[in-house]
Structure 1
């Protein structure tokens, strides 16, 4: 039997979305959609996550995104942190971002989800995904 060695490394996944309003329901809907996209497109196993930091703009304070993430299967043991995003005049409003560190197979591509009003924050990543999906 052949001995197969899989090389792992710590990688970071970024993503963002926007909420339609500052309410528990709207934030929950946005965070769930974002994390569904993250897990589905990356075939992600939350047990491999090291930690996740969520940031929100100052106009979102109805609920912590980490509290929503803890409701998900297998996320209860992931260290989660919520912070307020630095305010920059004219920046995207009602924005929720995450930065996740994960143990990832070295040669596997990562999809960074940017949804709703946040799609233009990293158009280079959205373009790369669109091009890769066309092959």
Structure 2
């Protein structure tokens, strides 16, 4: 068993509480599905948002998923680099897994695909 970081990102259209929460849950579920881990395998999760998203804590979306009640989660704000991708939520999950580094599936959805097209899965 090895500790691995699994990355993901998703964008939303509006700074809207419901949209932020649903997008965060969608991303987390997809990360878990593609990498075949369980919430009990997760050491901790860091979620960041761009500074144009402040209508909700994205961690609320995670808390609504079964099994994530005890996973330590922290939210932070991304560095506001000029001309960077807007309305973006990023997740870094630290997970115990048997996967090798090259087997980890990092998930980029919606407009966030442009952040790392080399790591993005083509199906959405």
Q: CA RMSD in A?
A: 1.6
Matched pairs, number: 122
2: distance between equivalents of 1:92 and 1:125? 17
Which residue matches 1:74?
Answer: 67
| Uncovered stretches (5+) of structure 1, i.e. residues with no partner | 1-7
Which residue matches 1:121?
Answer: 115
Which residue matches 1:90?
Answer: 83
| Uncovered stretches (5+) of structure 2, i.e. residues with no partner | none
2: distance between equivalents of 1:35 and 1:99? 10
Does 2:26 align with 1:38? Answer: no
The alpha-carbon deviation at position 106 of structure 1 amounts to: 4.2
**TM-score scaled by length of structure 2:** 0.92
The alpha-carbon deviation at position 39 of structure 1 amounts to: 1.7
Q: List structure 1 segments (4+ residues) > 4 angstroms apart after TM superposition.
A: none
2: distance between equivalents of 1:103 and 1:78? 13
1: distance between equivalents of 2:2 and 2:25? 27
